[in-house]
Structure 1
Amino acid sequence: MNKILLFNPRSANNKYRIPNSILNIAASVDGKYDWVIVDGNCEHDPMVKIDSYLSTGEFKYFGFTVMPGPQLRQAIIASKTIKQKYPDTKMIWGGYFPSNQPNAVLYSGYVDFIINGPGDHAFPALIDALEKNEPYEFIRNLIYKATDGKIIKTAKEDLLDQDNLPPLPYDKLNTFYPITKFLGKTYLGEKTMAYHSSIGCPFTCSFCAVVPIYEARWKAKSAQNVYNDVKYIKDKWGADAIEFHDNNFFVSEKRAVEFARLIKPENMTWWGMARIDTMSKFKDSSLAAIRESGCKIIFFGAESGNNAILEQMDKGGTQTGDQIIEFAERLKKFDIIPEYSFVLGTPAPTQEQVQSQIDFEIDFIKKVKAVNPKTEIVIYTYSPVPTEGSELFKQVIKSGFRFPETLEDWISPTWESFDLRKNPLTPWLTPDMIDKIRNFETVLNGVYPTVTDIRLNMLKRMAIKLVATMRYKASMYQYPYEIKLLQKVWRYRQPEIQGF
């Protein structure tokens, strides 16, 4: 009666990746409590599999990992259905969404607890307390609703030494779903594995959902232990490429270079995320070693070429617009593709200023492309994140913006688009501004189709580029229907939504 069911809601159609976050929770209770995993990405109807477990009467605890966006819909529907049918089941959510929106989650009536950040200690401690009918208010990293209806947040736990955590139970996961199913064909390789080598980030960007959870903290596994895990999956299941899903893989130059040295003989290709102002300080020899080890592309949060906007976003560090362009040019000699994300549409006192900022970023992106045409550009529209105390969030609240108060509102079509940073629902952005951002993105992707879309052959790339180039050179972005039609017919892949 105390088994644990762990659920990874669907995050994308026809895309399977090792469910690292929920597997981390499985590792925390492995050997102490019986557990199973249901992966919504691998199930046509995960509720059938879930019900087959719960109907045995052996499962008392149900753990979800819930990211904003696509996972949220399946998580809400599943939680509500399960709580109605199995009311004694204890529902525990973890992930960025519940940590950032605890009121909507806990007042829903069908979620009992939230793990606020890493659950390596909090989750097993909570299960122990519930099993023994003991108090849980002193368990760190916990959010719950008290008997008087008040939302209680317990103290944050220091980040744990990642090397001392139990190993992820890949072999047991393989008994539920073949690991080979999670090794997808991508731009990087035929069998691409997903891996987390660190948690958190040492910066406090006020537009980032990680900041309220980790509060400028970062902890990483050693390069040797990362290599050991990757090597195990490569040797046993044939992985030939790696997506590092760390929020910031390249915090430590020494660690990155050491991993590059270890992984080089394995002939694997890989990708990770970084900050421009951090990696711009790396030695040429370090960048060369990273590329020689198989790193083909690195994602950077450029965010804005406007120094005043970078300050408004509390980007921190030393990043500037000039540095963004200089670093894109520098990476050319190492044959590393920089993947730059930009956030357009931050708040300003007047609509004229908002429009001016958008126009500036469009021109700046074109300058980046001019110095290094291989630079991948990912465009987001600014979507508020509840970073309490930040000046940017104060501006957001002052403008009249409000988050939904119920979970049902969060899964309305408009708010689902918000979570994908496509429809911000912010008062300072007009429909014309949003159209301009989206239309520029369409034209840009026509002239420079992403290299990560492996289905787009050379002939298609040439055709769409021919159609889009005239618009791009003339800055004619309105009504790019001919480009949209080709992208729709050829099912153009957008990295900011679908990844590789």
Structure 2
Amino acid sequence: MTPKVLIFNPRSANSKHRIPNSILQVGASIHGIYDYVFVDGNLEKDPWLKLKTFFTSGRIKYFCITVMPGPQLKQAIPFSKRIKELFPKTMVIWGGYFASNQYKVSLDSGFVDYIVNGPGDHAFPRLLDCLESGEFHKLETIQNLIYKASHKIIKTAKEPLLDQDALPPLPYEYLNTFYPLEHYLGKTFLGKKTFAYHSSFGCPFTCSFCAVVPIYNARWKGKSAKTMYDDISYFKKNYGIDAIEFHDNNFFTSRKRVVEFSKLILNDGISWWGEGRIDTINQYSDDDLILMRKAGCKMIFLGAETGNDEVLKQMDKGGQQTGQMIKDFAVRMKRIGIIPEMSFVLGLPADSKDKVMDQIDMDIEFIRNIKALNPDTEIIIYLYSPVPTEGSELYQQIVAAGFTFPKHLEAWISPDWEHFDLRKNPLTPWLTPSMVDKIKNFETVLNGYYPTVSDFRLRGLKRKIIKQLSAFRYKNNLYACPYEIKLLQKLWKYRQPEIEGFYLE
């Protein structure tokens, strides 16, 4: 084999045991057409050494990276730059949310040549065909592509989402020749061998704070329940999986598909988790939800965001979700027996800093109300990090408040910006240090009094001790300087699933 294409998955904070669906999708698009190799930065002690070994062979012409915001940038940016410096004839091709949303700064860097803007099932092989043939005039006809020509950025038309069942199968067994698939089946609270799976692309909604919106433009396409079940059955038979994380942007978009899938997997003894919207799943019947629970649905990640109806409208949450619906849904999930994992976005801009703080206080009280209604509700707290959803009211507001993204690509891996897209430490001008401290201190106390069920190492006496230690603070709204709780969380390596995922080393 003389590979021309190297497909690289940069190291992420919580992906060592997560099968890299993004690079598998890239590989599937050229499988049998171009020879290619995989390098997974999560499973390499020294990814750069592995990359350099391939490139010094003189055969690699295309360096292709899936680039998500956050930790992946720490390898994607410097490695792309070094490849371009050492092997200047190499074409560097980026895909992923970061590349699509921050395409200008990426292309202006001088070491990113092309960006696949969204799904690359057609765009990627067609791009390689043009580059191989030298027919550069055809680049403008390739949908889902962004590149520079004569110092001008060209952004081609968006391609309709494809029939997911008609796409070629992911090359799992080819990946297995580079990295044994068992490495990707880690232990989580869901099961001993948890399999990460994508069953759909896109989302039919236009939330103004979501990075998916500019890429998919309110479009969604999913695999059929039968195709999903066939894939999962293959991994159960050959690798003994007993749990699934569905990493779709919105797994529950189609009720019919979810119900059909639940019936298929009902007796397979597989637990699963997925992401959805409260106003969508709230339209499911109790019988639907009970079926899902019996079929292994253990927890659902849900964007609650806030209890303030006006802010929900500002976020473009579809005009249906309300604070009362969120509370009612928490109660309903308690009765059904599925754990709701609700995320909240605190620290949105407002007309004044006093209004920002008032909204933070309201959200904290609303979270406490949710916990009172259903103590099993998992709470995920994010600080609002802007995304370039140009044209939305929220984006106009953040620009007016003085927020700007970095003008140079390498600034994204500076200490100030490194954790921006983890939505834990945003550089937003309307948030003061005292506001950030209040949110983080509340989060510490909340996680002490209600430790996440996903950290199954924290149980028995440890769980009892940290809960009792936090009780006085939580019950009396005393959040400042919770050093004793932080000490125990550090000592016992408390895991926050939104940062570290469900997998344990």
TM-score exceeds 0.5: yes
For residues 345 and 498 of structure 2, the distance between their equivalents in structure 1, rounded to whole angstroms, comes to: 12
Aligned partners of 2:229, 2:53: CA distance in 1, in Å? 37
SS at match of 2:64: strand
Instruction: Provide the secondary structure at the position in 1 that maps to 2:419.
Output: helix
Instruction: Look up the equivalent residue of 2:400 and give its one-letter code.
Output: K
How many Å apart are 1:241 and its aligned residue? 0.5
Q: Residues 257-406 of structure 1: matches in 2 within 5 Å?
A: 257-406=259-408
Distance 1:120 1:78 in 2: 24
Amino acid at match of 1:487: Q
Partner of 1:22: 23
- The code of the aligned residue for 2:80 comes to S
Aligned to 2:142: 139
Aligned Cα RMSD in Å? 0.9
CA distance in 2 between counterparts of 1:453 and 1:209 reads 27
Q: Is the 8 A contact 1:38 1:46 kept in 2?
A: yes
Distance 1:240 1:53 in 2: 36
Q: Contact 2:343 / 2:379 at 8 angstroms: preserved in 1?
A: yes
2:115 alignment counterpart: 114
Partner of 2:174: 172
Residue type at the aligned position of 2:146: I
**What SS class does the counterpart of residue 418 from structure 2 fall into?**
helix
Alpha-carbon distance between aligned partners in 2 of 1:491 and 1:416, rounded to the nearest angstrom? 22
Which structure is richer in relative contact order (CA contacts within 8 A, separation 6 or more)? 2
Give the secondary-structure state (helix, strand or coil) at the position aligned to 1:415. Answer: coil
CA–CA distance in 1 between the matches of 2:350 and 2:15? 40
C-alpha distance in structure 1 between counterparts of 2:15 and 2:458, whole Å: 17
1:329-359 Cα deviation digits (max 9, x unpaired): 0011221000000000111001110000000
- Give yes or no for contact 1:272–1:298 (8 Å, CA) kept in 2: yes
User: Secondary structure at 1:18's aligned position in 2?
Assistant: coil
Residue 442 of structure 1 is matched in structure 2 by: 444
Q: Is the 1:453–1:493 contact (alpha carbons within 8 Å) kept by the matching residues of 2? A: yes
Give the C-alpha shift of residue 15 in structure 1.
2.8
- Paired with 1:55 and 1:235, the residues of 2 have a C-alpha distance of 40
Contact 1:103 1:405 in 2 (8 A): no
User: CA offset at residue 177 of structure 1?
Assistant: 0.4
CA distance in 2, matches of 1:459, 1:37: 44
Work out whether residues 192 and 243 of structure 1, in 8 Å CA contact, stay in contact via their aligned partners in 2. yes
- Secondary structure of the 1:41 match is helix
Measure how far apart 1:457 and its partner are.
2.1
**C-alpha distance in structure 1 between counterparts of 2:149 and 2:399, whole Å:** 27
Partner of residue 462, structure 1 = 464
Distance across 1 between alignment mates of 2:362 and 2:24: 43
8 Å contact 1:312–1:392 — kept in the other structure?
yes
Q: Secondary structure at the match of 2:42?
A: coil
Secondary structure of the structure 1 residue equivalent to 2:318: coil
- Give the fraction of aligned pairs with identical amino acids, expressed as a percent: 64
Equivalent pair of 1:191/1:239 in contact (CA under 8 Å): yes
1:345-389, CA deviations, whole angstroms, 9 ceiling, x for partnerless residues?
Answer: 111001110000000000000000001000000000000000010
- Could you tell me which amino acid in structure 2 is paired with residue 132 of structure 1? S
Equivalent residues of 1:251, 1:274 under 8 A apart: yes
Contact 2:343/2:380, CA 8 A, preserved across alignment: yes
- Give the Å deviation of 1:499: 1.5
Q: Which runs of 5+ in 1 are unaligned?
A: none
Return the alpha-carbon distance in structure 2 between the equivalents of residues 125 and 32 of structure 1.
11
Aligned position for 1:123: 124
Contact preservation (8 Å) 1:2, 1:61? no
**For residue 91 of structure 1, what is the amino acid of its counterpart?**
V
Aligned pairs for 1:59-138 (under 5 A) are 59-134=60-135, 135=137, 136-138=139-141
Per the TM alignment, residue 206 of structure 1 is displaced from its structure 2 partner at its CA by 0.5
Instruction: Determine if contact 1:446/1:464 at 8 Å carries over to the other structure.
Output: yes
Whether the 8 Å contact between 2:344 and 2:379 is mirrored in structure 1 is: yes
Question: Which deviates more, 308-317 or 154-163?
Answer: 308-317
TM-score (norm 1): 0.99
Query: Aligned to 1:59, what secondary structure does the other structure show?
Result: coil
Which residue does 1:6 correspond to in 2? Answer: 7
Tell me how far apart the structure 2 counterparts of residues 256 and 462 of structure 1 sit (CA, whole Å).
37
Q: Does the 8 Å contact 2:203/2:218 carry over to 1?
A: yes
Q: Distance in 2 between matches of 1:139 and 1:351?
A: 46
1:377 is paired with a residue whose SS is strand
- Provide TM-score, normalisation by structure 2: 0.98
Aligned length: 499
1:480 maps to a residue whose letter is P
Aligned to 1:130, the other structure's residue is in SS state: helix
User: How far apart, CA to CA, are the structure 1 residues paired with 2:419 and 2:58?
Assistant: 38
* SS across alignment from 1:380: strand
Corresponding residue for residue 187 of structure 1: 189
